Amino acid sequence: MKNPLVRSDVVEEREFQTKIAEKATEGNTLVVLPTATGKTIIGALAASHFIYNYSDRKFLMMAPTKPLVEQHRDTFLSVLKLRPEDVQVLTGASCGA
């Protein structure tokens, strides 16, 4: 899954991740894999497709805990060529909940 936003020197290409990310660009997708198998990388790869091809739109990735949300942000910033101000973290605390 080649994309100018992906830092190829950071991501070790794994065929199963690429295939799942490509499938995710075709429609809503739920990825269920064991811990530490690269679900966040899959999300970043899928996001790169939408961010690059539809620059007027947003990409939302949700997680159940604040530490996981922050991990996703950090991974997106290290894997994708994005500016820190382009990646926002929203939590119950930041939304006034």
Domains of the chain, by residue range, sit at 15-86
Q: In degrees, to the nearest 5, what angle opens at C-alpha 87 toward C-alphas 83 and 92?
A: 155
Tokens of 17: 């991740």
What does the pLDDT read at residue 70?
93
Confidence (pLDDT) at 74? 96
Query: What pLDDT does 90 receive?
Result: 87
Q: What pLDDT does 13 receive?
A: 83
**The whole model's pTM is what?**
0.86
What residue has token string 């679900």? 39
The SS3 assignment for 61 reads coil
97 residues of the chain, pLDDT tens digit each: 689 999 989 988 899 999 999 999 999 899 999 999 999 999 999 999 999 999 888 888 888 899 999 999 999 999 999 999 999 998 877 665 5
Quote the pLDDT of residue 71. 93
